[in-house]
């Protein structure tokens, strides 16, 4: 009987050992573990009678099976996380994935991203490899190993716009094609993807002063949006009051609130370019010149010659989600009931509002302080109304 040929290992420049069986490759930093991976693959192949799926093959089937009823937007977000894994290890057998490889996905694909985004990726990987364990491909979940824990990301950057920024938005660049969309996000709290599907003559009732959302735009592929009746949450298709500033901004307009320059449906790239153009328009209006001419205009050169200092450049740093964030903060500052705020924002419960959107502004803090003073303290000597004297308390 011929002796089995000894498997040869190669060591790559990054320190990993590599060996091969049929069309499958196995990687490990340890020489013995690399051979064990190959041996385990052969055992499972013999046991199952079929070829072990790769990470890509298993992941593409699992994600459809695990999330059958999610919206197209949510499925697209899930697939983005899955592709971060498959870009690096998609050709690797599902049985060969180790904690060090999960860690390398975080180290190369999630640097500089937010904490919540990294947690979403971790949850997906943990769920996927839990299923692989249940299916018998793995003995343990590599994504749940201590050595596979992701790094801590940045905190969320969405913020409430300042009163000055709000004035700028209402009064400057009102002829820009993005301005109605900006006003809609600021004074109705709709999401950017909901805004891109908003049709004024269909969704806006000027007599009843309401906005009723019927569709949401979900990204499909590299550059296109698909309109669907499914929103980010089951409560996304909702009715919101049409407040006076937004009513004035939308009156006399028809069709979709934002389109390409040629009037066709907005695309991913055209929206990015439109927003960049709006930011440039705002900064030009705020500062009196474009940024490339700052310090080079006649007025600026005259100031420099006279020995005066130039006024500081004021950037316009608002992003679309800041507008939704600001709407929720304005509602809470105005003491809008929490359940009503949940309905207007299209959330399923109060968790997201209280954790992310319900920012305690200085204005609200001042109002609450005044309310507490009126409720508890006398205006004369500052004593507390409903408290007994210190002598009674001592007794």
The total of other beta-carbon atoms located within 10 Å of residue 142's CB is 21
Of 131, 142, 37, which Cα lies nearest the Cα of 93?
37
Q: Which two tokens stand for residue 88?
A: 């690096």
Contact in structure between 300 and 337 (CB atoms under 8 Å): no
Rama region for 81: left / alpha / beta (φ>0; ψ in -120 to 50; rest): alpha
CA–CA separation, 32 and 114 (whole Å) = 37
Task: Give me the domains of the chain, ranges plus CATH numbers.
Answer: 10-148 (1.10.150.130), 171-282 (1.10.443.10)
Each residue's pLDDT tens digit in the chain (395 positions)?
344 445 567 787 777 788 877 767 777 778 888 888 778 777 776 665 557 889 999 999 999 889 887 777 778 889 999 999 999 999 888 988 999 999 999 999 998 888 888 999 999 999 999 999 988 888 899 999 999 999 988 766 678 899 999 999 999 999 999 999 999 999 999 999 999 999 999 999 999 999 999 999 988 777 888 888 877 778 889 999 999 999 999 999 999 999 998 888 999 899 999 999 999 999 999 999 999 999 888 888 888 888 888 889 999 999 998 999 899 888 888 888 888 998 998 888 877 777 766 665 666 677 777 777 777 765 545 554 544 444 444 44
- CB-CB contact of 54 with 92 (8 Å): yes
- Centre a 10 Å sphere on the Cβ of residue 384 and count the other Cβ atoms it contains: 10
In sequence order, the 6+-apart residues with CB closer than 8 A to the CB of 12 are 18
Task: Tell me the sheet residues that pair with 153.
Answer: none
Please name which of 206, 204, 207, 191 lies closest in space to residue 239, comparing C-alpha atoms. Answer: 204
**pTM of the entire predicted model:** 0.65
Nearest to 80 by CA among 117, 33, 50, 108: 117
User: Are residues 285 and 174 in contact, defined by beta-carbon separation less than 8 angstroms?
Assistant: no
The residue behind tokens 């006076």 is 244
Q: What is the C-alpha to C-alpha distance for residues 196 and 267, in angstroms, rounded to an integer?
A: 9
- Alpha-carbon span 259 to 265, nearest angstrom: 5
* Rounded Cα–Cα distance for residues 142 and 150 (Å): 12
């Amino acid at each position: 009987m011929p002796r089995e040929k000894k498997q040869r290992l190669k060591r790559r420049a990054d320190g990993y050992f590599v060996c091969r069986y049929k069309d499958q490759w196995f990687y490990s930093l340890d020489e013995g573990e690399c051979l064990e991976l190959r041996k385990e693959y052969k055992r499972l192949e013999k046991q199952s009678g079929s070829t072990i799926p790769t990470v890509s093959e298993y992941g593409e089937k699992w994600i459809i099976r695990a999330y059958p009823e999610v919206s197209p937007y949510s499925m697209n977000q899930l697939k983005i996380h899955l592709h971060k894994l498959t870009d690096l290890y998609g050709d690797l057998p599902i049985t060969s994935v180790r904690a060090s490889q999960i860690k390398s996905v975080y180290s190369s694909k999630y640097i500089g991203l937010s904490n919540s985004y990294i947690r979403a990726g971790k949850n997906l990987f943990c769920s996927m490899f839990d299923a692989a364990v249940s299916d018998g491909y793995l003995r343990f979940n590599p994504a749940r190993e201590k050595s596979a824990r992701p790094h801590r990301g940045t905190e969320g950057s969405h913020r409430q716009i300042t009163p000055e920024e709000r004035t700028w938005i209402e009064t400057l660049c009102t002829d820009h094609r993005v301005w109605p969309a900006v006003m809609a996000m600021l004074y109705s709290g709709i999401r950017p993807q909901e805004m891109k599907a908003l049709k004024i003559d269909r969704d806006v009732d000027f007599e009843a002063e309401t906005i009723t959302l019927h569709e949401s735009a979900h990204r499909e592929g590299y550059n296109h949006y698909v309109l669907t009746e499914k929103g980010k949450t089951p409560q996304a298709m909702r009715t919101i009051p049409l407040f006076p500033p937004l009513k004035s901004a939308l009156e006399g307009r028809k069709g979709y609130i934002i389109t390409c320059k040629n009037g066709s449906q907005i695309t991913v790239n055209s929206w990015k370019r439109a927003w960049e153009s709006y930011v440039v328009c705002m900064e030009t209006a705020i500062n009196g010149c474009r940024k490339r001419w700052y310090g080079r205009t006649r007025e600026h050169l005259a100031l420099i010659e006279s020995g005066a200092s130039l006024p500081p450049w004021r950037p316009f740093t608002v992003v679309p989600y800041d507008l939704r964030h600001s709407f929720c903060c304005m509602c809470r500052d105005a003491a809008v009931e929490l359940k009503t705020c949940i309905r207007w924002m299209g959330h399923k419960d109060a968790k997201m509002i209280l954790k992310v959107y319900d920012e305690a502004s200085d204005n609200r803090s001042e109002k609450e302080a005044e309310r507490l003073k009126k409720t508890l303290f006398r205006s004369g000597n500052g004593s507390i109304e409903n408290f007994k004297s210190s002598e009674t308390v001592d007794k």
